[in-house]
Structure 1
Amino acid sequence: MTVPLSQMTREQWESLCDGCGRCCLHKLRDDETDEVVFTDVACRLLDTTTCLCTDYPHRQRRVQDCISLTPAMLDDIDWLPPTCGYRLIHEGKPLPWWHPLVSGRAETVHEAGVSVSGRVISERRAGALEDHIVQWPGECPPGAECVRKPGCLTSSDR
């Protein structure tokens, strides 16, 4: 990335989203320890198959606690997944092989097992969030942290 996050156009900024849907999952924060606990419960606007918001332009009017992520917020947010493009670039790390900006295909986030596709339930059907606590949204799936696709050799490897 050659453009600093704070100087990106809206289009450049939005392109850092890999479309995994993990940020659209409900999270719980322990009042005593301040620890974030992840759930497999998705925002009612998230399409649980495609991992796209069904009303992205109006999401903040429809979902009161939906945020618009900005570069200034990245130092304070502790719940972005370790694979998040915004987080990686903020930390000076490269985007992995499956990120759409690297692969050229939106589907690779699903193929790599990074997205929430098929692994979550809508908040409309979930019931108590405490019954849906899971670890995986805050973890990096095996191979997902690789800068290039596992098993692929580059010319420097030969």
Structure 2
Amino acid sequence: MNDPIPRHGLRDRYWERVPLQNLSPREWEALCDGCGKCCLNKLEDEDTQEIAFTRVACRLLDDSTCRCAHYETRKQFVPDCVVLTPQTIHKVAYWMPRTCAYRLIAEGKALYDWHPLISGDPQTVHDAGVSVQGWTVSEFDVPEEDWEDYVIEEPGT
């Protein structure tokens, strides 16, 4: 499988040595493991701030590739899409999947062996059962008031 994120020519194990705010744009993008979990709609308990993942995916998620169909222009289609940056990750890390490389690095944790930066293969995230590949439903098909019926345990945790 071709990796849609160019990971060649990056500094060796840069995520272990370079602060997030000092990463190049390519290094930042290469941290994405391609799981697609950030594109799942989530419910937040107002009292506890606990996050519940649902099988209901953003309208732009391609569930076969676990990629955004309009990544570069996603804010035009989904204005409330959260764009992760080194400046925003610490504010939204609690909302990100527990296996997300951005969250792991922000929390000072190591990447999992299945991460493409470790394994060298973008398929390993799917083989490890961590991605949402093939089992989401589109937000177009489920009214928001029914999302509670689609609550799941976060894959891969």
The alignment's TM-score, normalised by the length of structure 1, stands at 0.82
- Partner in structure 2 of residue 13 of structure 1: 28
For 1:37 and 1:70, locate their aligned partners in 2 and report how far apart those are by CA, in whole Å: 23
Name the aligned partner's letter for residue 132 of structure 1. Answer: Y
- Partner in structure 2 of residue 129 of structure 1: 147
Aligned residues: 139
Summarize deviations over 1:37-72 as a string: whole Å, max 9, x none: 211100010001110111101101110111110122
Classify the secondary structure of the residue corresponding to 1:38. Answer: strand
For 1:130 and 1:83, locate their aligned partners in 2 and report how far apart those are by CA, in whole Å: 22
- Partner in structure 1 of residue 120 of structure 2: 104
For 2:119 and 2:74, locate their aligned partners in 1 and report how far apart those are by CA, in whole Å: 28
Question: Does the CA contact (< 8 Å) of 2:32 and 2:101 recur in 1?
Answer: yes
Q: Mark the runs of 5 or more structure 1 residues left unpaired by the alignment.
A: 141-158
- Partner in structure 1 of residue 129 of structure 2: 113
Does residue 45 (structure 1) correspond to residue 60 (structure 2)? The answer is yes
For 2:121 and 2:29, locate their aligned partners in 1 and report how far apart those are by CA, in whole Å: 15
CA RMSD of aligned residues (A): 1.4
The alignment's TM-score, normalised by the length of structure 2, stands at 0.83
Matches within 5 A, 1:1-158: 1-77=16-92, 78-127=94-143, 128-137=146-155, 140=157
Percent identity reads: 51
> Which structure would you say has the larger Rg?
1
Name the aligned partner's letter for residue 99 of structure 2. Answer: T
Q: Mark the runs of 5 or more structure 2 residues left unpaired by the alignment.
A: 1-15
Cα shift at 1:34: 2.5
